Amino acid sequence: MVCVPGVPGPWGRDRPKDRCKVCNGRKIVREKILEVHIDKGMKDSQKITFCGEGYQEPGRETGDITVLDQKDHAVFTQQGEDLFMCMDIQLVEALCGFQKPMATLDNCTIAIASHLGQTVKHGDIRCVLNEGMPIYRRSNEECCLIITFKMNFPENGFLSLDKLLLLEKLLHASKEVEDTDD
């Protein structure tokens, strides 16, 4: 932003008391706040232009500012209008079912569930309709949230030998194979 220069003194110089209090006579202030409205569904590298709001300097024409740079999110990644995420689940949740609350990008909470008897494997994918990114200029339409499940297995020594044998019996583990000469 360009400041108004001070009033010239009797010999063509700026007097200190006449200088701008903001820029101290340098004629340039480095700060300006622009308010940006981003429509739902706008994409990375889509342009919002502020004409004449670029770098300003006395005697030079001002440029334009073009803004829209999408930042990475800690949980979600975007591919097209779909959102992708990885959800960690424990072995007991994968075998016995679970219900986990999850916060979406628009600050809603949805429940991701697996019911009793429905097992979830490492790498399984679930799709939640209408929880992805909104479609630009069609704000009532949203795409999918795609969840990939990541299994967290218990560490070694987590279960005692008697519990491991009971678990083996419950899961109907395969019988031992006899060693032969072949």
Same domain, 96 and 128: yes
- Cβ atoms 131, 78 nearer than 8 A: no
Residue 3 is assigned to a structural domain of this protein: yes
Give pLDDT tens digits for 106-115: 888 999 998 8
Q: What is the pTM of this model?
A: 0.59
What per-residue confidence (pLDDT) applies to 163? 79
Tokens 């006579």 identify what position? 25
User: What is the chain's mean pLDDT, rounded?
Assistant: 76
Same domain, 82 and 149: yes
Query: 54: domain range?
Result: 39-69
What per-residue confidence (pLDDT) applies to 29? 67
Residue 15 is assigned to a structural domain of this protein: yes
Mean pLDDT score, 67-83: 80
Residue 48 is assigned to a structural domain of this protein: yes
The four Cα atoms 67, 68, 69, 72 give a dihedral, to 10 degrees, of 150
Sign of CA dihedral 31, 34, 35, 36: negative
Mean pLDDT score, 47-58: 68
Same domain, 43 and 103: no
The H-or-E segment that residue 102 falls in is strand 98-103
> Where does residue 14 rank: exposed (0-12), middle (13-18), buried (19+ CB within 10 A)?
middle
φ and ψ at 53, to 5 degrees? Answer: -105, 5
Q: For the chain, what is the domain count?
A: 3
